[in-house]
Structure 1
Amino acid sequence: MEYQQYGDTFYVRMDKGDEIITNLLNLCQEQHIASCTYSGIGGCSSAEIQTFIPQTGTFETRLIEGMLELASFTGNIITDQSGELRNHSHGVFAYKVGERHEVAAGHLNAVVVLYTAEITLKPVVGGTIYQQYDEETETGFWKLHE
């Protein structure tokens, strides 16, 4: 991973074998970024995608592998109650199965780069977005006021 800051935006390039979410969390720790948003595109080799199932209160996880065009990647990193950084990422991937073009999308747990990923990361300026726990989903949502 390589990155450069211009103004208040970080421009991040990830290379073959890099895991995107882990690297973004590491960048935020290095740069003391408590909350941010990001978006990007790229070519990936694997993605672990989740979908929340409200009826059961659980997430279904699917691993896709191969030449995956990361057509859209967006998300945020916020700070939880204990001061740890937490990510919330979604992605859309296009890929081929035989002669068919397919698309898979959802919440992302892990994404590994095949060729490159180009991501812009914008830190929150003038404050911090924290996480508040949601019992129904057992996850955290934005807490905008202290």
Structure 2
Amino acid sequence: MQYQKYADTYLLRLEPEEEILAALGALAAAEGILLAEVGGLGALKELEVCVFDTVKKVYYTNTFAQPMELISLTGTITQMDGAPYLHLHAAAGDGAGRVLGGHLKRAVVSATAELTVRTLPGRVDRRYSDAIGLNLLDF
């Protein structure tokens, strides 16, 4: 991963075989990022995304191992239990033009990925909600 900071925003370039969540987590830890919004695009070879069932309170995971274009990556960096907490959603297109997406669990770069991390002033933590079954923003 290579990155540069411009004002309040980091611009990242990921290399082949790098995993997006791992790279963003490493950046957040190294740079002390407490609160940020994330965006990106790129080329992937592996993608693992899930959808949350609000009734059963479980995630259903889908895994794809094929050439894909990351057409949208969006989310936040907050804090939970004293560590960076990444909440990202991704949409990727496959060779047939279908879009695959959901809550991002894993994404491995095939060629490159270009990400932006715009830091925000302050800090937001998360707490687990028994009622909903998710880690929610705690203002």
Specify if TM > 0.5.
yes
Number of positions where the alignment pairs a residue of Structure 1 with one of Structure 2: 139
Alignment pair present for 1:108 and 2:107:
no
Q: CA deviation at 1:22?
A: 0.8
TM-score between both structures, scaled by the size of structure 1: 0.91
Matches within 5 A, 1:18-57: 18-57=18-57
1:30 counterpart SS class: helix
- Offset at residue 33 of structure 1 (A): 0.8
> After superposition, what is the alpha-carbon deviation per residue over 1:33-70, rounded to whole angstroms, capped at 9, x for unaligned?
11211101000001111000122111000101111100
- Give per-residue Cα distances to partners, 1:99-145, cap 9 Å, x unaligned: x32111100011100011001101122x101112211343211122x
Pairing 1:84-103 to 2, within 5 Å after superposition: 84-96=83-95, 100-103=96-99
1:3 is matched with 3
**Aligned match of 2:137:** 142
Gaps of 5+ in 1: none
Q: Which residue identity is paired with 1:22?
A: A
Partners of 1:57 and 1:136 within 8 A in 2: no
Work out the CA distance in 2 between the residues paired with 1:134 and 1:112. Answer: 30
When the two chains are superposed, the root-mean-square deviation of aligned CA atoms in Å is: 1.1
Q: How does 1:108-127 map to 2 (within 5 A)?
A: 108-125=104-121, 127=122
Alpha-carbon distance between aligned partners in 2 of 1:118 and 1:20, rounded to the nearest angstrom:
10
Show the counterpart of 2:63: 63
Q: Which runs of 4+ in 1 moved over 4 A?
A: none
Q: What runs of 5+ residues in structure 2 fail to find an aligned partner? A: none
Q: Is this contact kept in 2: 1:48–1:61, CA < 8 A?
A: yes
